[in-house]
Amino acid sequence: ILPMFDNQYYRTPSYSPPPELSQPCQKPNPNEHLNGYMLNHELQFIKKIGAGTYGLIYLVENIYTKQQFAAKMVLKQPSNKQSNTKDTAMNKKLIQSQFYHYFLNHPIPTPQSLSLDYLRNQGHACPFLTEISLHLKVHQHPNIMTIHQVFNLDNFAMIILMDYFEQGDLFGNIIDQQIFSNHKYNKQLLMKNAMLQLIDAIEYCSQNNIYHCDLKPENIMVRYNPSYQRPSNNNNNDNIIDYNELHLVLIDFGLAMDSNLICCNACRGSSFYMAPERTTNFNTHKAIRQLVDMSQFETIEMDGTTVTQSNCKYLPTLSGDIWSLGVLFINITCSRNPWPIASFNDANRDSNDVFRNYMLNNNKNILAKILPISAQFNRLLDKIFKLNPNERIDLQTLYREVIRCDFFKDDHRQPSSNQQLYTPPETATYNSYASDIDEDDISDEEFYSDEEEEEDDEQQQVDNDDTNTTATSTTVGSVK
């Protein structure tokens, strides 16, 4: 039971259960799937569409209206076995088993429907409701996933009922469906449509003091109509966004924040999309201190925290999302990533020469050499990929610059080969709607500092495997 919720915040169904469902109807399933089981008196599990570290995503259907939803089910208290295992496959199997046995033993559960208004305003006080609370503050925007209901399932789990996107996420649509490269009408306009929708979503979030902190194709759902042709008067810069052609929706606020500042030692996000200040502690890295004047950033002393050089500086949170947008724009236009990780660390030196050349050698043309992008788009990316977070382009200017860009991809030019940019594998095993981030991977952590480096002559290092999600390392981590 949630002690923070009084009964006045629960909404109980006003109908009586139909007689045909009043008796237990769940039968044992040797595969431990929930297909055919009941979530409540109205909603039935159809199939699993995603799995993460602490929960499952199932397609559910209202047995009366036939309306379908995506139900994100998150455990409140993961088992000790689950918390201790680093085996992703085993972890997901344990989660599946927990949910299976719950619904097997509760043939027709009666989860309590929680007040969305109360969750939005007060949910941040409860750790496992923080994601829901932040999401609800912005879910009314057309480019952010709508939450229809939130259920409390005893002490066991929370269930978030959202829209179902049959076509899946942006990663699968870029790589498997190739919606941008195969578009039979104006490809550049379709790309621009996608970019502007993403900027709109992040702008709306920031206006409401919400920062996503984990932007990547896996966290963007897609509805796309390949046969749709824009009206003749809908091909100018005044009518670029067209939801009939393409509709993108942002999901998964599991790493989101409501603070406009983030500590310089925070490692938060997925490695391919993290800004350099999320992979390296700017305030303790010698080379970066020579390139970026750290005095421009706020020094904050947190209560109960010993202030050191590694944790005293706070950087703008929004700048990290703007950097991630730049990587997403390259995904959309080229089906590639610019680099494996935006890091200067020696551990990534051999596989990360593009980023090091781009930043340390100020070689701003290297992306145009290895990617089939236009010179105009390359100049726009340079305004996004600034090492100093304070110097990155703001969202409103970025929106205008995208509109002004004549074309993004040069289909007639073959870029030079680079071993960092290879065709990704197929995505048959990828899960949408859920992240695979382990708790150790998403918590803020301190990096090795140059003070330690002077003592033991070791270069600071960000563990790429730990900061990257499983989905990223096997799928969109390969959109590069």
**In a shared domain, residues 155 and 278:** no
Q: What is the pLDDT of residues 341-378, one digit of tens each?
A: 999 876 656 667 899 999 988 899 999 999 999 999 99
Q: What is the pLDDT of residues 133-192, one digit of tens each?
A: 999 999 999 999 999 999 999 999 999 999 999 999 999 999 999 999 999 999 999 999
**In a shared domain, residues 212 and 156:** no
**In a shared domain, residues 415 and 273:** yes
Lowest-confidence segment of 237-246, 257-266, 350-359, 399-408 by average pLDDT: 350-359
Which domain does 57 fall in, by range?
24-163
pLDDT score, position 346? 67
Lowest-confidence segment of 33-42, 251-260, 344-353, 364-373 by average pLDDT: 344-353
**In a shared domain, residues 266 and 404:** yes
Q: How far is CA 113 from CA 8, 43, 64, 153, 479, in A?
A: 11, 13, 19, 9, 39
- For 235, counting Cβ atoms within 10 Å of its Cβ (0-12 exposed, 13-18 middle, 19+ buried), the class is middle
**In a shared domain, residues 319 and 375:** yes
**In a shared domain, residues 372 and 446:** yes
User: Which residues have a Cβ under 8 Å from the Cβ of 5 and sit 6 or more positions away?
Assistant: 114, 118, 152
The string of DSSP codes covering 274-327 is: --HHHHS-TTT-HHHHHHS-GGGSEE---TT----TTTSEEEEHHHHHHHHHHH
| CATH code for the domain in which residue 436 is found | 1.10.510.10
Count: domains in the chain = 2
Lowest-confidence segment of 167-171, 330-334, 402-406, 444-448 by average pLDDT: 444-448
User: 18-24 contacts: CB < 8 A, separation 24 or more?
Assistant: 21/108, 22/108, 23/107, 24/107, 24/108
CB 34 within 8 A of CB 99: yes
Q: Is residue 5 part of a domain?
A: no
Domain boundary among 148, 163, 178: 163
- Higher pLDDT pick, 56 / 14: 56
CB 382 within 8 A of CB 355: no
**In a shared domain, residues 40 and 183:** no
Domain boundary among 122, 143, 163: 163
Domain boundary among 146, 163, 180: 163
Q: Is a pLDDT exceeding 70 seen at residue 17?
A: no
Residue 76 marked ligand-binding: yes
**In a shared domain, residues 120 and 200:** no
**In a shared domain, residues 273 and 334:** yes
Distance CA 98, CA 436 (A): 17
